[in-house]
């Protein structure tokens, strides 16, 4: 089973700052990596698929990069609504797995 | 507008069977997608449970040791989850989700639409 390790666990930032989140896979997942945002009491929402493609309706301030084992989600300038938990997920090697999450919190 | 809505008992007794249904509106479960279940224990992360394909084939997480059955009901445009021999460790919010294969017409190879989730507690 592929283990996805996200870092940092918590990221304290202020609105307007840049957020850089990391997801590292225990073995290559090619580009089959997605990022989700989850706010308290809500279902996850797809942000990025296949490592670097924004999902429908996702603002351009969200971008994804990477391939193989190292991936990054960047939020160029944090809006108040971006403070949430972010998960990565791979769909290259069965069983599909999620990272443990990074919480972006207000500093 | 495509929507997914989970339904089922909020309380299940230990050793019993957890049964949930996800009704899909605005999309046909017979199209080129897959229909999945993901759960989240209170205060914890996400775990993929299993999924059923538009063709009716299915797969599930081996960590759940064959306790999982997923199925489609095309006549009702819904899909279902059964989890047997439940324990307190199965207490979680259960989400249904849609995924799409990547084709020349689009697709994401990810869970691109989610239900709102339903809390299931395992307790006597």
Q: What is the dihedral of CA A6, A7, A9, A14, to 10 degrees?
A: -130
Q: Do B110 and A99 touch (CB under 8 A)?
A: no
Q: Residues A69-92: pLDDT tens digits?
A: 999 999 999 999 999 999 999 999
| Tens digits of residue pLDDT in A38-73 | 999 999 999 999 999 999 999 999 999 999 999 999
Q: How confident is the model at residue B107 (pLDDT cuts 50, 70, 90)?
A: confident
- How many CB atoms neighbour CB B41 within 10 A? 14
Q: Give the pLDDT confidence of B52-65 residue by residue, as tens digits.
A: 998 889 999 999 98
Tell me: pLDDT of B33 over 90.
Answer: no
- Interface list for B 77-116 with A (CB within 8 A): 95, 99, 102, 108-116
| B37 φ, ψ (degrees, to nearest 5) | -125, 135
**In angstroms, what separates the C-alpha of A105 from chain B's closest C-alpha?**
16
Residue B37 or residue B65, greater confidence: B37
The mean pLDDT of B90-111, rounded to a whole number, is: 92
Asked if B111 and A46 come within 8 Å (Cβ–Cβ), the reply is yes
Distance from CA of A72 to the nearest CA of B (A): 17
**pLDDT at site B29:** 87
Q: Which residues of A touch B111 (CB under 8 A)?
A: 34, 36, 44, 46, 89
Contacts of B114 in chain A (CB under 8 A): 43-45
What are B80's strand-pairing partners?
B21, B71
As a whole number, mean pLDDT of residues B4-20 equals 97
pLDDT of residue A50: 96
Candidates A9, A43, A47, A88: best to mutate against B (most CBs of B within 10 A) is A43
- CB contact, 8 Å: A105 with chain B? no
Q: Residue B32 pLDDT > 80, yes or no?
A: no
Average pLDDT over residues B81-94: 98
Average of per-residue pLDDT values in chain A: 97
Half-sphere exposure of A89 (CA within 13 A, CB side): 27
Question: Is pLDDT above 90 for B106?
Answer: no
State mean pLDDT over B35-44. Answer: 97
A10 Cβ under 8 Å from any chain B Cβ? no
Between positions 38 and 77 of A, the ones with CB within 8 A of B are 42-46, 49-50, 53, 55-56
Among the partner-chain residues A44, A49, A56, the one whose CB lies closest to the CB of B46 is: A44
- Mean pLDDT, chain B, rounded, equals 94
Query: Is the model's pLDDT at A105 over the cut of 80?
Result: yes
Three-class HEC string of B44-79: CCCEEEEEEECCCCEEECHHHCCCEEEEEECCCCEE
Chain A residue numbers with beta carbons less than 8 Å from the beta carbon of B95 are 43-44
Let me know if B5 is exposed, middle or buried by CB neighbors in 10 A (0-12, 13-18, 19+): middle
d(CA A32, CA A23): 12
In chain B, pLDDT over 70 holds for what percent of residues?
100
pLDDT at B25: 94
pLDDT for residue A33: 97
């Amino acid at each position: 089973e592929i283990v996805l390790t996200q870092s940092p666990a918590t990221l304290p930032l202020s609105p307007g700052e840049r957020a850089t989140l990391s997801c590292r896979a225990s073995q290559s997942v090619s580009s089959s990596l997605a990022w989700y945002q989850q706010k308290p009491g809500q279902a996850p929402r797809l942000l990025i698929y296949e490592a670097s493609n924004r999902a429908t309706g996702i603002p351009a301030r969200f971008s994804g990069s990477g391939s193989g084992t190292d991936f990054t989600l960047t939020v160029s300038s944090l809006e108040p609504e971006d403070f949430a938990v972010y998960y990565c997920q791979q769909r290259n090697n069965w069983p599909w797995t999620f990272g443990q999450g990074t919480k972006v919190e207000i500093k | 507008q495509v929507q997914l809505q989970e339904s089922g008992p909020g309380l299940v007794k230990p050793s019993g069977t957890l049964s949930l249904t996800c009704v899909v509106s605005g999309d046909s479960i017979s199209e080129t997608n897959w229909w999945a279940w993901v759960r989240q224990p209170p205060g914890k992360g996400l775990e993929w449970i299993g999924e059923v394909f538009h063709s009716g084939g299915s797969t599930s997480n081996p960590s759940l040791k064959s306790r999982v059955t997923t199925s489609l009901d095309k006549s009702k445009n819904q899909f279902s989850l059964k989890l047997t021999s439940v324990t307190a460790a199965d207490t979680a919010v259960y989400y249904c989700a849609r995924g799409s294969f990547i084709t020349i017409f689009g697709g994401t190879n990810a869970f691109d639409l989610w239900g709102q989730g339903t809390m299931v507690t395992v307790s006597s």
